[in-house]
Amino acid sequence: MKKVNILLSAFNGEKYIEEQIRSILAQKDVKIHLIIRDDGSTDNTVKIIRSIQKENGNRIDLIEGENVGYRKSFYLLLCARDKNSDYYAFSDQDDVWMSEKLIVAIKKLECENEKWLYSSALILTDKNLRKISFRSQKNVRQTLKSFFIRTRLSGCTMVFKPELAEIAGNIQISSVENVSLPDHDAFLCMISLASGKKIIIDDHAYIFHRRLENSVTAGRGIKKRVLVEYNRIFKRKNSYTNAASMLLKKKDEIQINADNISFLKNVMWSNKNRKARVCLFFDKEFSSGIFGADALIRIKIMHRIY
């Protein structure tokens, strides 16, 4: 069986984390090694994890860390990954996985040796796992420029190969504030697409994804959606310029082509250089396929907080 290293960042997750951990441990036809980094929880999260850890021996490792925010926490997990694993996956703390989630992804990745990353659709639920909707990923535009506007793939569905984990896990993030880091899942997509490797996108869902009101990245209702978008535009400063800088430092390892290097340089300098901003603003290929998202990113560029 293939060994899969699951990377889970937890914070005050006492309500649902046991259910999620047990759904991970119940994955069929794979060998599981779960690494959980607690991001400074103040509830019973660590106590619950330790209890399950006692039952499962060396299948679960727990890192008790200080609160640095979920973005930096996931990067720290990548650094702490089990380097002897065949595959890697991210996990949220409050989802529930179907038992075949990982093996389906592995089979698809093994059929396409040149690809590094898999992502699937998901079933959105309320806190009681009642279905709200189905989120399809099949119409995602797979270009590097698109992912510098909006990442429409969900990290909790991703399974990836050691080559991708190695590149992402060696990125230096210590000097970057959490709010200015690119999201861990977005950055994996950027690495993959910058290297010319398309992402395997499965339109089937193998995960029940709880959509909670206190979610940092999303939520239900118009007011929450507006707040999320406002924070994405005006509170998240310099995350894309940092992503471009991080990629360019790895350009030889990733083997980024000349066109993408030129684009990444425009992104990296866009907050300081008018010519770079103009190039991005009028680049017709700089599009996610969603008019609103394209317009909002150009607002960030105009405000020099891209």
Number of domains observed in the structure of the chain? 2
Same domain, yes or no, for 144 and 24?
yes
Same domain, yes or no, for 198 and 259?
no
What pLDDT digit, counting tens, does each position of 63-113 carry?
A: 999 999 999 999 999 999 999 999 999 999 999 999 999 999 999 999 999
Cα distance between residue 189 and residue 179, in whole Å: 19
If pLDDT is split at 50, 70 and 90, which confidence band does 233 have? confident
**218-222 long-range contacts, Cβ below 8 Å, gap at least 24?**
220/132
Residue 216 counted as domain residue: no
Same domain, yes or no, for 179 and 250?
no
- Residue 159 scores a pLDDT above 60: yes
Cα distance between residue 276 and residue 263, in whole Å: 9
If pLDDT is split at 50, 70 and 90, which confidence band does 304 have? very high
- Residue 49 scores a pLDDT above 60: yes
Alpha helices, DSSP H only, in the chain?
A: 17-25, 45-56, 70-79, 101-111, 144-147, 162-169, 184-194, 222-230, 239-248, 251-254, 258-269, 274-281, 291-302
Same domain, yes or no, for 183 and 39?
yes
Residue 109 counted as domain residue: yes
Same domain, yes or no, for 201 and 244?
no
More confident residue, 113 or 14: 14
Pick the last residue of a domain from 210, 245, 261: 210
Contact 35, 63 (CB under 8 A): yes
- Residue 241 scores a pLDDT above 90: yes
Q: What is the domain range of residue 235? A: 222-302
**Per-residue model confidence (pLDDT) at position 225:** 66
Q: What are phi and psi of 205, to 5 degrees?
A: -110, 140
If pLDDT is split at 50, 70 and 90, which confidence band does 234 have? confident
**Per-residue model confidence (pLDDT) at position 283:** 97
Residue 74 counted as domain residue: yes
Pick the last residue of a domain from 210, 233, 261: 210
CA 56 to chain centre: 27
Alpha carbon distances (Å) from 194 to 5, 243, 282, 283: 24, 12, 21, 18
**Per-residue model confidence (pLDDT) at position 178:** 87
Residue 264 counted as domain residue: yes
Same domain, yes or no, for 202 and 230?
no
Alpha carbon distances (Å) from 117 to 41, 96, 153: 30, 21, 11
Percent of the chain with pLDDT over 90: 87
Pick the last residue of a domain from 188, 210, 232: 210
What pLDDT digit, counting tens, does each position of 183-228 carry?
A: 999 999 999 999 999 999 999 999 999 998 765 555 556 776 678 8
Same domain, yes or no, for 266 and 287?
yes
Same domain, yes or no, for 136 and 276?
no
Residue 161 counted as domain residue: yes
- Residue 150 scores a pLDDT above 70: yes
Residues whose CB falls within 8 Å of the CB of residue 185, separated by 6 or more in sequence, listed in order: 74, 90, 151, 153, 154, 155, 158
Residue 295 counted as domain residue: yes
